[in-house]
Every structure is written in C-alpha cells, then in structure tokens.
Amino acid sequence: MKKAHAHGFRKEQIELEQCLTCKGKAVVQGVFHELACVDCNCSGWVMAGSRLTISTDELVTQLSLRLQQAQREIEVLQRGPTLSGPAEYYQQNNRRGAGGSNYTGD
C-alpha cells in the first residue's frame, strides 16, 4: 500500500466556538454529578456558525490543530517582548495589560 502523502488527507481547520450548552466545559451539571455534554461530543467545542457537533474522529484533529496553535501562542507570550517576534501577539498582550481595566469586550 502506498503511503498517502499530501494527497488524500488534508487537515482542514474548522472554525470552532464554545458549546453554549456546557459553556465550553464539556460537562453539564446533573442532579448528582456532572454529565458529559452531548451537544458537543464532550469536547466543549462546536462548529462555529452552524453550531454542529463535530464527530470524535474529526475532533481529535481539530483539537490537535487548536492545541498546536495555542502552544505557539503560549511560547510567544512566554518569550516576552522580542524585536523579531510576531508583533501582533505582543501588542495584544500589551494593550490588555496597559489598559489596567478588566475589559474583555464581552
């Protein structure tokens, strides 16, 4: 069997948004204990816009992409302000910090 390279399998990132039912927690408060949230396949995430549940197979890939992205952002933030680093991350962080207020825009 030939190994699939770039063809056949393309990891397309789906825009995700927090599940409204569990507020991204992946669990909902039941009567006695927390229950797995069925609306988001226990992931806390649904497809942005349509709010469709993502299949577990797809979720693994999507959460991996999301995690990789988050880890890159964390690395950038941990490195602190650098002259060669991505400016937008620093500016975002700086704006939030310098403002002093707890403005989330929510």
- Name the residues that contact Zn ion, by CB under 5 A: 19, 21-22, 37, 39-40
- Give me the least distance between CB of 59 and Zn ion, in Å please: 12
Q: What distance in Å separates the CA atoms of residue 59 and residue 46, rounded to the nearest whole number? A: 9
- Give me the least distance between CB of 37 and Zn ion, in Å please: 3
Q: What distance in Å separates the CA atoms of residue 11 and residue 5, rounded to the nearest whole number? A: 12
User: What count of other Cβ atoms lies within 10 Å of the Cβ of residue 36?
Assistant: 13
- Give me the least distance between CB of 21 and Zn ion, in Å please: 4
Please identify, using beta-carbon distances, which residue of 36 and 67 lies nearer to Zn ion. Answer: 36
Q: In a 3-state reduction of DSSP, which class is residue 91?
A: helix
Please identify, using beta-carbon distances, which residue of 20 and 87 lies nearer to Zn ion. Answer: 20
